[in-house]
Amino acid sequence: MDFRDNTVLAEFRTEIRDFIGEHLPADWATRGGDDDGGYGARAIDQTRAFQRALADRQWLTMAWPVEYGGLGASHWQQLIMNEEMAYHRAPGVGSNMGVMWVGPALLLYGSDAQKAQHVRAISEGDVWWCTLYSEPGAGSDLAAMQTRAVEDGDDYVINGQKIWTSGAHQSDWGWLAARTDPDAPKHKGITMFMVDMQSPGVTVRPLVNMADGHSFNEVFFEDVRVPKSSVVGEVNRGWYHMAVALDFERSGIRSFSVGRRIVEEYADYTRSHPETGERRPSLRYDLADRAVEVAVGTHLAYRITDLQTRGIVANYESSVSKLFGSELAQRIQATGLAMLGPFGALTDVDDGWAPLRGRVGRGYVQAVSSTIAAGTSEIQRGIIATRGLGLPRG
């Protein structure tokens, strides 16, 4: 298969670059984009404005059906959009969960009324979603979750605690998995809900990460009432709906496109700072390895798009992409630190000594979490072994 852009796709790519040029400052990407992963107070305003501008052209959710705010665009167009947005460090890339997996899951499992309300609103760029799966006692073993949703008249009443909830402090809605049948086998008693994060009884408490940023939170549910119309898909089959949403979360070209940008920046840096190569003669080979790995990862993402084009929802392929992309992100940051030596650890943008605006030191620390978030590398290897290679469960 030839993965190069045909004429139509090449024109579309140019159109996206022009749009980015019009809507972001000229030095936006070289400054490092929003630099804080998109969750800072300033970043969220920028992000929302940029996402609205995309939504005005139906570009935020371009592959969705026209009646739900998309353009019915091809998966290849969507891929090119995601590739360009990530490469140019556009605000909101990687943090709009509504666009990335809640909307796609609702399109598959939501009722017509849910699609009309929520899918449409996501496509308009005005609502922000968070993902409420993990609990203090249920991370890798997600099916062990204890948050309960109990039927009461026309409502469900929710009690329990979620943890590591990215962006909960800025979200309007929560995509929640909760236990509805405590007596069923653990994978068979879970249901998916949509929860208004302003509901009485929802408390969000910040958790500060080791890079000193506030991206995730604890979320407590105390007698939170949600109408039965908030159930997504079938009651007690939420595990299976969540698994598909996780496959959406784990696939994509973002990490490879971001990686390509960084490797190019490193190469530029070594050209203008020859002392880096003198200090570490193997740097040239390390950079070549990273560049090859980025190309391999990009083709993994293209493969998933090819599957989607043929109507197949990627499954173990998403885990392959997530595993390779998250471990590569760490290797890229380690290469950056090796290139810069001790200066690489400096992160203060204003003191004049931190090369590349301190992105390498910050990125190195932030990349640690990439092999944990969305399921650890061990869990991805387990999925690849069982679903991909058909090996027996241990």
By the criterion CB under 6 A, which residues form the site for ligand FAD?
131-134, 139-140, 164-166, 216, 369, 372-376, 378-379, 382
Closer to ligand FAD by Cβ: residue 20 or 242:
242
Dihedral angle at the C-alpha atoms of 355, 358, 364, 370, nearest 10 degrees? -130
d(CA 327, CA 325): 6
In contact, 129 and 144? CB cutoff 8 Å: no
Q: Closer to ligand FAD at the Cβ: 18 or 141?
A: 141
Residue among 190, 139, 128 nearest 162 (CA): 139
Q: What is the 3-state secondary structure of 33-49?
A: CCCCCCCCHHHHHHHHH
Around Cβ 371, how many Cβ atoms within 10 Å? 19
| Token pair 């962006």 in the structure block, residue | 167
Q: Measuring CA to CA, which residue among 135, 127, 136 is closest to residue 190? A: 135
φ, ψ of residue 220 to 5 degrees: the values are: -110, 140
- Residue 220 and residue 390: Cα distance in Å, rounded? 39
191 neighbors 149 (Cβ within 8 angstroms): yes
Question: Which CB, 123 or 131, lies closer to ligand FAD?
Answer: 131
In the bound complex, what is the minimum distance in angstroms from residue 51's beta carbon to ligand FAD? 18
SS3 state at 90: coil
Give the residue with the Cβ less far from ligand FAD, 267 or 372: 372
Nearer to ligand FAD, 128 or 216 (CB): 216
Confirm if 129 and 174 have CB atoms less than 8 A apart. yes
Q: Among residues 58 and 377, whose Cβ is nearest to ligand FAD?
A: 377
User: Using CB atoms, what's the residue nearest to ligand FAD?
Assistant: 139
Smallest gap from residue 381 Cβ to ligand FAD (A): 8
DSSP letter at 384?
I
Rounded Cα–Cα distance for residues 131 and 164 (Å): 9
Query: Could you tell me which residues are beta bridge partners of residue 146?
Result: none
